[in-house]
Amino acid sequence: MARILISESDDDLRLVLRVLLHREGHQVLEARDGREALRLLLTETVDLAVVEIGLTQLDGHDVLRTVRDQQPTGRPTLVALYGLGDLLRDRGVRQAYVSGADDVLTKPFVVEDLVDRLRMHLDERQVAGPPPW
């Protein structure tokens, strides 16, 4: 089973994701702001991280860039979550990929679809090993 970080400012969404991922057998770490997310990503072993772009204290782009720059090898798979306001501000999801995301999802989404997407990334990671970057 995988260790997954959910960094999401919405307490309800974080709770739903935690419950669903626990049911899948995963260990879940949680962060409600960017500083906490970055601290966990740099100090804990994490297989996959969901990073909300609109995090407070340190936005998701900064978290993604820092992890990409400080962990060039063996880093977790990074999935960015965009809210509508973040998406309009950035004029698309390209910026998340430039910042270091391996995948991008936009809110609102069907929670089960997100869990399926995370499962796909974890399956790929298990078959191929962690990304070389």
Question: What's the pTM value of the predicted model, to 2 decimals?
Answer: 0.88
pLDDT by residue (tens digit) across 93-111? 788 899 999 999 888 888 8
Asked whether residue 108 is domain-assigned, the answer is yes
Q: CA nearest 85: which of 58, 52, 112?
A: 52
- Number of domains observed in the structure of the chain: 1
What pLDDT, on the 0 to 100 scale, is given for residue 66? 95
Asked whether residue 51 is domain-assigned, the answer is yes
Average pLDDT over residues 16-42: 95
Tokens matching residue 114:
């997100």
CATH value at residue 75 = 3.40.50.2300
Q: Residue 99 sits in which domain range?
A: 3-128
Asked whether residue 133 is domain-assigned, the answer is no
